[in-house]
Structure 1
Amino acid sequence: RENSEMSPQLYGKLIFDKAGKNIQWEKSLQQMVLGKLDSNMQKNKTGPFLTQYTIVSLKWMKDLNVRQGIIKSIEKNIGSNIFDLGLSNFLLTRLQRQEKQKQ
């Protein structure tokens, strides 16, 4: 009943004030997140990069389900660095083998 008696101007002002409070909160949240990000970058000395290379390479190893010892033994057998082989050639030959098997 009170809403029907309220003037449209007053109702609009209340909505505007409420939206203003939300905008203020969003800015403070953004500043807080950026502050945490900046402090983490300084702590890790990563500069503009968000992750260090060691963390990324370890994650890749976990994703591949390959242990570091296995890679070391393969490198000894091959006599070169396993990353010099190139992943694109490996995938290309594997796809070609699969196509031959299908035929």
Structure 2
Amino acid sequence: MAKANHNSALFLSSVLVLSLLIFSMAESRFLAVGGGLLKPRTPECDEVFGVRSDDTCFGITQSFNLTTTLFDSINPNLNCTALFVGQWLCVAGSA
């Protein structure tokens, strides 16, 4: 009889652990960005600047008195090693 109680306790603990794992995974998907409570923020651009010859991201941030963090957040997916003349960059806005 003690063995039967041990087996049922083991089974119930396994079910509890599995339930917690499934709940945890479902909750993390719900709270993930874009999946539920947290929505990804879209940057808002208030002013743009056209890249000229020899411009760099660092030089532009210095010219407009921007932090690199703000500059990067209002210009998502920008590749600073591949700037080209005429490219529009956001130099004022919010992320």
Q: Shared fold (TM-score greater than 0.5)?
A: no
Q: Greater relative contact order (Cα 8 A, min sep 6): structure 1 or 2?
A: 2
- Of the two, which has the highest radius of gyration? 1
Normalised to the residue count of structure 2, the TM-score between the two structures is 0.39
More strand by share: 2
Normalised to the residue count of structure 1, the TM-score between the two structures is 0.36
